[in-house]
Structure 1
Amino acid sequence: MTASARTLDDVRSIVPPTLIERAFRPFWVLPLVVSIACIAAGLAVPTIEEALGKQVPFVFEGGPDGARGLLSTIASAMISVTGLVFSITMVVLQLASSQFTPRVLTNFLARRVSQLTLGVFTGTFLYSLTVLRSVRGGNDIAPFVPQVAVTLSFVLVLACVALFLAFIREITMSIQVGYVVSQIGDTAAKAVDDLYPEDPGSGPEMRWEPPSSQARWLHSGDRHGHLTHVDYEDMVRTAKAADAVVEIVVAIGDVVVERQPVARVWGLSEGVSTGDLFDDVEETRSVEKALTDALGIGQARSSRQDLTFRVRQLVDIAERALSPGINDPTTAIQVIDELHRILRPLVGRETPSPCIVDDDEVVRVVHRVPSVESLLALAVEEINHYGGESLQVPRHLHDMLEDLSYAARPELQPAITLWRERIPRV
């Protein structure tokens, strides 16, 4: 069966995470940046204020003792509440891991409200201590009270109060299973539109077969983890410049170990578009490195290009709810409803072609996306296995599959019928 190849315009919506996104992905980065900014402000504001030597209206008007007392109180209060915020975060992470699934911890750690709250509380503590050292009075030779800096410390306290309220709201929402399931579903629905568009490809119809020539293997090197993303646009440009074809042999989300083959390349030894030969080993290695760098490998799976991971998260929540220790089939029903939301538009669309062509309609990258049949099996099989004896779960799965059969393309009907026959009637 032939399918229309994907062009660069078709894959531009499948964007890899930017450098800033990758840099700010760890939980500690944003709090660290905010803390450093507060220390810098605590050094700069008093220095500028003393250099200007102007009286500013509507600011702190107390003396050195009052400034020291206020800053000391703020610093001690902030470090205490910072410990409270950190403790609440740890409790929520433990609750999410035990009640939902460890796979959702990445969702909780990625929440900017929690990161910003921890950063501002820590930053206010450091800012107050930094400003405190610039207060001079009593027996000091040149008494000085940084009035603007002290006032800013009070403004930071107000910001901390507002962020603490937002943090409490975020925490109370994030431990509700309906909210967690809905958030995963929102991300999955966006991934469906990006990875399985209604028009899967605007290139020529083709069926790709591996060339008969010898291929060169690309390896993961010293990296290990999951294949989190592929920069298709960069890979197509590199392959076109080398007049090569790249087939990625691992799927998004698959585990990659050190020195594992991840792709094979044809055409590197045949030259580039200018006609020059790749006689220089270093030049060939630079092309191979550029192609390998377009493959993102990380310890945690990412959801932007990994629809399978989002479905896996939902299925794991349902399995945990159906376990004998929890026995909460209603949560499994909520998960099935969200899976229904994801699968309904999916079954009406074609699986995109693995071929990605350049501007000259020459195949440059080949990477197979998960088939709709495999996603359907992932969504149904395990929930049916663990919830087969429940009164609600089989009935709800039947209702979902019946509705999917109305929306599905003809070639998917056998797969849907197969699952309808496997699910017990209640």
Structure 2
Amino acid sequence: MSTHPPTTPAPAPTMRPQVDRVRRRLRLIFEPFWVVPAVWSASAVSLGLALPQLDAAIGSPLLFQGSADSARSVLSTTSGAMISVTGLVFSITIVVLQLASSQFSPRVIATFLEDRVTQHTLGVFVASFLFSLTVLRSIPDAGGMDDAVPELAVTLSFLLVLGAVAMFLAFIQHITQSIAVSTVIRRVGAQTRDLLVRSKERRATLPSAVPELPDLKGQTVAVARRSGYIDAINSGLLRNCALERGTRVEVLYPLGSFVAEGAALAMVHGPSADSDWDELVASAVALRAERSMEQDMTFGFRRLVDIAERALSPGVNDPTTAVQAIDELHDILRRMVGDPSVVGVHLDHDGAPRVLTQEWTFGQYLDLAVDEIAHWGKTSLQIPRRLQEMLTDLAVAAHDEHKPVVLAKSHEIGG
């Protein structure tokens, strides 16, 4: 009789790893700050080259009624004004990043760089400048009444200016709201909750206890090919590789851990002398120079704790901000405390363990959320009281296996 726990057969185990890999690559492509402005810029140059030809092909739409000199003046003024305001928008963005880094934490800068309003605002301004400049080159230098005027293109340039003004007003309002401490904390909390929902879907496939692990002869150490933080683990890809080779892969570090180049990253159990496991593990375990919220939920906790610690520093002395960070942590922990623990054993479609990952326990999340804030806020009137309120509520909502951990933490803070 099989000793493995009953599992639902996994349909087509090769599809999900490919989907995850494509999704991660698309995220890495579209995540950088410059991507949205670059798309706007490329579109503007393309339109600037195409619309004058379209004017000549279909005849004048009579949108802009003026001579070539007038069109040249409008486009010159538009391009000069747009590049000046673009510099202003960029300067405001840099100032906001500096304020966020000094007031909150350097680790929250990513939330501002990922902000689509800022990216689209810069994109519209740069697009207006490039479009006007591109259309300007299609107007002959020698002015004359018979010179062809790209009326549709000049009209679109005017509309882009109107859109840029509207985006600038929206940007000013948005940026003043985004640097508010409550907005920053709420945004980090929302990102962490979204990741928690996604992680629950993944954790639902994991068992609550370690099944029997067959003794596979032979061991191979897969080392890290570069230094970085473990940002994501494609367990499906590792599972398929282990299934094809009759092995079991054990990732030695949890998400968010730093691994130095050449250090052991995974242990492969079973015959694998003919496999380049360093390359296989590197393709499934993403190491990045900076942590992100791809899969690493502890990074959300880390940012909230950093905000609270910065607020409790003697130079800032703002315990109310620290309490707001605790409120977000409270909400996240309460969503977690009612779920039973799982172990990082990923089974194949036959129920055999193929991949072992290091999963964070609720007690570790609780330590991360409470210990440092309690240490730096122990002399405050608000912090110990708020932490005790949070722990009392968590104890009421906790799953039976988590209650001792929560009560022990409450006694530790109270003592």
Above 0.5 in TM-score? yes
Is 1:414 matched with 2:411?
A: no
Is 1:318 matched with 2:308?
A: yes
- Give yes or no for contact 1:188–1:310 (8 Å, CA) kept in 2: yes
Relative to structure 2, which stretch is displaced further, 413-422 or 189-198? 189-198
Identity over aligned residues, as a percent?
Answer: 41
Corresponding residue pairs, total: 408
Q: CA deviation at 1:15?
A: 5.3
Classify the secondary structure of the residue corresponding to 1:253. coil
- CA distance in 2 between partners of 1:4 and 1:422 (Å): 40
Q: Output aligned runs, 1:77-226, within 5 Å.
A: 77-136=81-140, 138=142, 143-196=147-200, 200-201=204-205, 206-207=210-211, 209=213, 211=215, 213-221=217-225, 223-226=226-229
Which of 267, 285, 289 aligns to 1:264? It is 267
Unaligned runs of 5+ in 2: none
Classify the secondary structure of the residue corresponding to 1:289. helix
- CA distance in 1 between partners of 2:168 and 2:284 (Å): 40
Compute the TM-score of the two structures, normalised by the length of structure 2.
Answer: 0.91
Is 1:26 matched with 2:32?
A: yes
- Give yes or no for contact 1:78–1:125 (8 Å, CA) kept in 2: yes
Alpha-carbon distance change, 107 to 204 in structure 1, aligned in 2, over 3 angstroms? closer
Q: CA deviation at 1:235?
A: 2.4
Is 1:393 matched with 2:383?
A: yes
- CA distance in 2 between partners of 1:139 and 1:79 (Å): 26
- Give yes or no for contact 1:3–1:352 (8 Å, CA) kept in 2: no
- Give yes or no for contact 1:247–1:366 (8 Å, CA) kept in 2: yes
Classify the secondary structure of the residue corresponding to 2:156. helix
Which of 19, 41, 61 aligns to 1:56? It is 61
Is 1:382 matched with 2:388?
A: no
Letter matched to residue 103 of structure 2: Q
C-alpha RMSD of matched pairs (Å): 2.8
Alpha-carbon distance change, 7 to 113 in structure 1, aligned in 2, over 3 angstroms? farther
Classify the secondary structure of the residue corresponding to 1:359. coil
Is 1:368 matched with 2:372?
A: no
- CA distance in 2 between partners of 1:32 and 1:161 (Å): 19
Classify the secondary structure of the residue corresponding to 2:402. helix
Alpha-carbon distance change, 214 to 65 in structure 1, aligned in 2, over 3 angstroms? same
Which has the higher relative contact order, 1 or 2, with Cα contacts under 8 A spaced 6 or more apart? Answer: 1
Letter matched to residue 60 of structure 2: Q
Letter matched to residue 189 of structure 1: R
Q: CA deviation at 1:353?
A: 2.1
After the TM superposition, which parts of structure 1 deviate over 4 Å for at least 4 consecutive aligned residues? 2-10, 12-17, 139-142, 202-206
Q: CA deviation at 1:152?
A: 1.1
Q: Residue 334 of structure 2 aligns with which residue?
A: 344
Q: Residue 334 of structure 1 aligns with which residue?
A: 324
Q: CA deviation at 1:195?
A: 2.0
Compute the TM-score of the two structures, normalised by the length of structure 1.
Answer: 0.88
Q: CA deviation at 1:298?
A: 1.3
- Give yes or no for contact 1:319–1:383 (8 Å, CA) kept in 2: yes
Alpha-carbon distance change, 204 to 406 in structure 1, aligned in 2, over 3 angstroms? closer
Q: CA deviation at 1:83?
A: 0.6
Q: CA deviation at 1:240?
A: 2.0
Q: CA deviation at 1:369?
A: 1.4
- Give yes or no for contact 2:232–2:285 (8 Å, CA) kept in 1: yes
